[in-house]
Amino acid sequence: MARVLMVFVDGLGLGEAGDFNPLVTVPTPGFRSCLSGAPLTLEQAGFREEGALLLPLEATLGVKGPPQSATGQAALLTGENGAALLGRHLKGFPNRPLRELLQEKGLFKRLKDRGHQVDFANAFRPPFFEALDRGASFFSCTTTAAYYAGLSFHTLEDAEEGQALYADITHENLREQGYPLKVISPREAAGRLARLAAAQDFTLFEYFLTDLAAHSGDPKKIQEALTRLDGFVGALVRLLPPDTLLLLTSDHGNIEDMRARGHTLNPVPALVRGPGAEHFQEMAAITDVTPALLTYLARGQSGLGGGRAVVPR
């Protein structure tokens, strides 16, 4: 039975190597360990070895202007081109047409409807639950997709007990906001997520400090956001059980090019590692992620291994 851990990283593009690219200038031993020592840049697109791939995914969706989070994440989580639907890229949180798309075609819901066990591993602060109770509908795409799938959202108590992970990976930003959770290392966080993913068919974890840091233009914040992610990813690939596939991807570029503070037109990486990674080799755009995940997990569910049709005798 194949399992999937999807790590969604906001604002991580696959850009050219150069002194403007923090994926080159900041030490990233974790990413490099996945790429035979090379940095996570456009030059490595097409990298493959046994059970591992790095693909460039087109993120502009054929719509003019820099890609944005609401349309990009909706594309990732539904397989539908939300930007073409709206005729533009939409920042931040989904509007009504995108919410309807997530309600109808969201990845969590479709997996659940097919009998898969799914979990959105992120923990949320109390204000989120207060907003939910008030009937607010202004949330990110991932949250909206989880909501329409009827998933239960994890609390900070869950994070404290090791049953969820806060979006900052280490709890450091959470502590700055006045929530006194114990700080954990990126390696501990990876071990926790690996354990949580082993209990599900599909687990999603979302990290967005990369996009926030890149928008700030502050080299220290950029280095911190990348170093934390890199330590986490490096540990994850060592700690994930052999039956669990890691798929790390993004909605649009940003942090890979410090010559500008906004989103880039670069493709985003799809870093795939684990059993049957080659199943994902045809992906070319962020709209291809959901269809590929659905067929990959269906294959595991049927127990057919290679995904070939078997004629019953």
Where on the chain is the footprint of Zn ion (CB under 5 A)? 211
Q: Give the residue with the Cβ less far from Zn ion, 158 or 211.
A: 211
Instruction: Give the amino acid at 174.
Output: L
Helices 96-105 + 69-78 axis angle, to 10: 20
Shortest distance (Å) from residue 254 CB to Zn ion: 6
| DSSP H helical ranges for 79-218 | 82-86, 96-105, 107-113, 126-133, 141-148, 156-160, 172-176, 186-197, 209-216
Q: Give the residue with the Cβ less far from Zn ion, 168 or 201.
A: 168
The CA distance from 22 to 73, in Å, is: 23
- Best CA proximity match to 230, nearest among 16, 98, 40, 69: 40
Shortest distance (Å) from residue 262 CB to Zn ion: 8
Shortest distance (Å) from residue 215 CB to Zn ion: 6
> Residue 197 corresponds to which tokens in the numbers above?
């993913």
Shortest distance (Å) from residue 58 CB to Zn ion: 18
Shortest distance (Å) from residue 122 CB to Zn ion: 18
The CA distance from 137 to 148, in Å, is: 11
Q: Give the residue with the Cβ less far from Zn ion, 211 or 288.
A: 211
Q: Give the residue with the Cβ less far from Zn ion, 22 or 274.
A: 22
